[in-house]
Structure 1
């Protein structure tokens, strides 16, 4: 979701009014939000990729020799 320019300007104006230590805290918070969003995206991509590969692996996995592993 993209913030509009008015919202962005309000946030920038508020940041400019902070002490330097507080600005560092804001930056750390923003970094943590960014990392959370990136991590979720990466894990979602991995999950989708795994689901898409299931049909290809079914032929390999679904056989009598590997039936014992199904019980694990």
Structure 2
């Protein structure tokens, strides 16, 4: 196990059950935030690929220099 994780576990052992619940909620929040960020990035990439088919054309090439 990583030393940092071991150190965190030692700290967790001293917390009350109420505080452990708060810590668990915070960990869940961080995981959800990271997942949301990845989803936004994936959606943006998918939209970019889709829109590039519409945006990349000779008629609209003049706008590429703006």
C-alpha RMSD of matched pairs (Å)? 1.8
TM-score, normalization by structure 1: 0.70
Q: State the Cα distance separating 1:56 from its structure 2 match.
A: 2.2
Q: State the Cα distance separating 1:47 from its structure 2 match.
A: 0.3
TM-score, normalization by structure 2: 0.76
Deviates more, 1:29-38 or 1:49-58: 49-58
Could you tell me which runs of 5 or more consecutive residues in structure 1 were left unpaired when the two chains were aligned. 63-72
Could you tell me which runs of 5 or more consecutive residues in structure 2 were left unpaired when the two chains were aligned. 60-66
